[in-house]
Amino acid sequence: MKVSQGHRNPQGIVSFDKKVLLAAEHGPRGGDEINVIKEGGDYGWPFVSYGQPYSSGDYVKPSKTGTHEGYLEPITYWVPSIAPTELVQLPVAGWGSWGRALVLGTLREEVLVFMKVNEKFEVVESVRVDMGERIRDLEVLSNGSLLATTDAGNLITVSNSQVRNIYIK
């Protein structure tokens, strides 16, 4: 069963509070998005994007750029691109005021983006935590800390109070 359409390159998906599906996707050049997924929703690609084509020779080009009119709006987007990957939700315990927040991995920016959303899924606070590596995947461990995989071949745990490298190469 098709749930939704018009996604470009979704790489992260999370069930927020185990109720609402959120997905992160790459835009073309800019226009990276986080969307609340609604059944039957159309998220615009390849018709609209806040990003731009890479070049006039792109195989698929958005029909309209710099707008998302006519399609479901992302809850947040990035121009220029940050290259988003996995999206997770932090547990309440152990994360202080960031409990229940969203965390997004990025490739290009080499940061984790921590985001608080309100009940309407508006991003009300956002911080970037520099990881110094391209972050590919994220997992919340049973002890509540966050585990990141990196393109350099490292696993990094992140807790509210510490950042620690574990080299697996």
Q: In the complex with Ca ion, which residue's Cβ is closer, 33 or 133?
A: 33
Please, which residue, 32 or 133, has the CB nearer to Ca ion?
A: 32
Q: Residues binding Ca ion: what is the number (CB under 5 A)?
A: 2
Least distance to Ca ion from the beta carbon of 100, Å?
A: 25
Strand, coil or helix: 113: strand
Pick the closer one to Ca ion by CB: 43 or 114: 43
Question: What is the closest distance, in whole angstroms, from the C-beta atom of residue 84 to Ca ion in the complex?
Answer: 13
Q: Please list, in sequence order, all residues whose beta carbon lies within 8 angstroms of the beta carbon of residue 115, skipping any fewer than 6 positions away.
A: 34, 76, 101, 102, 103, 104, 123, 125, 126
What's the closest the beta carbon of residue 115 comes to Ca ion, in angstroms?
Answer: 18
Which residues from 25-84 bind Ca ion, rule CB under 5 A? 43-44
Bridging pattern class, strands 64-65 and 76-78? unpaired
Closest CA to 16 of 77, 75, 87: 87
Judged by CB, which is closer to Ca ion: 6, or 99?
A: 6
Position with the least CB separation from Ca ion: 44
Residues that bind Ca ion (CB under 5 A): 43-44
